[in-house]
């Protein structure tokens, strides 16, 4: 079993829908990261959080340390949000452990 599990693996939605991507992990962590990868390969860090909730524009990330679970929400989704979203955890050192990613497609 992977240390970091994401669901769903693929998600297709219509423009405007509220999107939720989930991440569960099985080890103690110092921080959890949400990353975005657009077609073409470049990866951008969206959030790093160790407790509670963070918001940036239409993106919201939450984490529940007791339940070892995090969610990434996108409000009013748009076709430009189409990307692979990757959850990763760090465990005190500099290395990250990655989930396999969720491929999100938003249709106009």
Partner 1 sequence: DVKVTQSSRYLVKRTGEKVFLECVQDMDHENMFWYRQDPGLGLRLIYFSYDVKMKEKGDIPEGYSVSREKKERFSLILESASTNQTSMYLCASSFGPSGMGETQYFGPGTRLLVL
> Contact residues for partner 1 (CB under 8 A)?
29-31, 33, 35, 40-45, 48, 50, 86, 88-96, 98-101
Task: Tell me if the bond preceding 45 is cis, omega within 30° of 0.
Answer: no
Contact partners, residue 17, CB within 8 Å, separation at least 6? 77, 106
CB of 79 to partner 1, least distance (A): 22
Q: Which is nearer to partner 1, 35 or 77 (CB)?
A: 35
How far is residue 51's CA from residue 74's CA, in Å, rounded to a whole number?
A: 19
Take residue 66 and report the two structure tokens written for it: 């007791």
Q: Which is nearer to partner 1, 32 or 106 (CB)?
A: 32
How far is residue 28's CA from residue 3's CA, in Å, rounded to a whole number?
A: 10
CB of 94 to partner 1, least distance (A): 5
CB of 35 to partner 1, least distance (A): 8
Q: Which is nearer to partner 1, 31 or 60 (CB)?
A: 31
Q: Which is nearer to partner 1, 14 or 55 (CB)?
A: 55
At residue 80, φ and ψ (nearest 5 deg) are: -70, -10
């Amino acid at each position: 079993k992977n240390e970091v599990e994401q669901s769903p693996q693929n998600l297709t939605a219509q423009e405007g829908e509220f999107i939720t991507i989930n991440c569960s992990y099985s080890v103690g962590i110092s921080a959890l990261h949400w990353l975005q990868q657009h077609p073409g390969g470049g990866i951008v860090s969206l959030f790093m959080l160790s407790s509670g909730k963070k918001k940036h524009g239409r993106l919201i990330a939450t984490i529940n340390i007791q339940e070892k679970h995090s969610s990434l929400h996108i409000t009013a989704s748009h076709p430009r949000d189409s990307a692979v979203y990757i959850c990763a955890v760090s465990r005190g050192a500099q290395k990250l452990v990655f989930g396999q990613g969720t491929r999100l497609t938003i249709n106009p």
